[in-house]
Amino acid sequence: MTDLLFVNVRLLDPASGLDAPGELLVREGHIAECGAGLGRPDGAATLDGEGAVLCPGLVDMRVDLGEPGGEHRETVASAALAAAAGGITTVAALPDSKPAIDDPALVRLLRARGEETGSLTVLPYGAVTRGCRGEELAELGLLREAGAVAFTDGAHAIGPARLMRLALTYAAGFGARIVQHPEEPTLAAGGAATEGELATRLGLPGIPAVAEAMLIARDIRLARLTGGAVHFAHVSTAESLALIRRAKDEGLRVTCDTAPPYFDLNETAIGDWRTYAKLSPPLRAEADRAAVAAALADGTIDAVASDHAPRDPDDKRLPFAQAASGGTGLATLLGVTLAQVHGGAISLPRAIELLTVAPARLLGVAAGTLAKGAAADLCLFDPDRIWQVAAGALPGKAQNTPFDGRALEGRVIGTWKAGRRVFGG
């Protein structure tokens, strides 16, 4: 492989605090040098970034890949195309597939599927419970040995308190996290939108926003009881964030992420029964959206994940209450997050931290850095380039984006996996 020298780029590596103009040299798939004044190594190909930002490949810690069992919605190969277009080089794959990832062989299979793409590292989550049914624990130890980075039941909340206590206790024994979909299941059952005036006006069954905070409050107490590590996914309400903030102040092993819809959109995006904006958890009131955006800046939120949930067109072409929840997010992850930068809510280094080294640390993997010797997983983007999201024109199979028609400022120019260009050019 020919050496590759990036010149005239803004190097941005939150893992080391680097944010400066410079150059970066890739040799044999790894970062050989990074900084200013590297010169021109003999035989190296040169890429002029024209002032664009060069950062680590993004790490997306919450992705539904479709496989196995949902290949009509998405495959690992099609998701890899969408991820590369979004600057993403590593994803953590949810286990609530058909069959669920509750068998070590399936963990190994998903990892291999990622390697086959040549552009995407797939880090499987192991199921907390068999079949993600919330009835009995899966073999967490064997799943961990096979390469599961953490444990979750995906879009299914772990409802029984005793089961969650056991999961936290067992996972703590080998230093793993339990990732919870925080929504009290009996309150959420049958709901389609956040309970309130809008849901009532549209005639939709509501999910009270407190359903999220109730399960978070319970699991914080269980984390205190067990000493286990709990991570709350796609947190979406002000009350939930206040609970998490207090738990962190107490020193508990509590972390959380959110997804772009919850800091960029509010419940009015469902409009007149717009099913592309039907998500789980549902979009919230404007006060909650603002609280999520503020929590990106103050450190309460540890990472931003795409929450990529591909759906078949037939899943969305239904009355709102019957339509499937979920939105695609791989190609739009960076652009929507950068909207918070352009709006002045967070700095560019903070945005990239939330998308790279922060999720990598939560998952315990060596990714999300421009450190010398690290794999040359790279994202080159222009933070000011404007583009418009268009359902039907996105990379990958699934097109069910809640951001359809949204103008974004910030676009990926190129993506490299282990030094090989996998997008752009």
3-state secondary structure the chain: CCCEEEEEEEEEECCCCEEEEEEEEEECCEEEEEECCCCCCCCCEEEECCCCEEEECEEEEEECCCCCCCCCCCCHHHHHHHHHHCCEEEEEECCCCCCCCCCHHHHHHHHHHHHHHCCCEEEECEECEHHHCCCCECCHHHHHHHCCCCEECCCCCCCCHHHHHHHHHHHHHCCCEEEECCCCHHHHCCCCEECCHHHHHHCCCEECCHHHHHHHHHHHHHHHHHCCEEEECCCCCHHHHHHHHHHHHHCCCEEEEECHHHHHCCHHHHCCCCHHHCCCCCCCCHHHHHHHHHHHHHCCCCEECCCECCCCHHHHCCCCCCCCCCECCCCCHHHHHHHHHHCCCCCHHHHHHHHCHHHHHHHCCCCCCCCCCCECCEEEEEEEEEEECCCCCCCCCCCCCCCCCCEEEEEEEEEEECCEEEECC
For the annotated catalytic residues, the residue numbers are 307
Contact 56, 378 (CB under 8 A): yes
Distance CA 45, CA 235 (A): 44
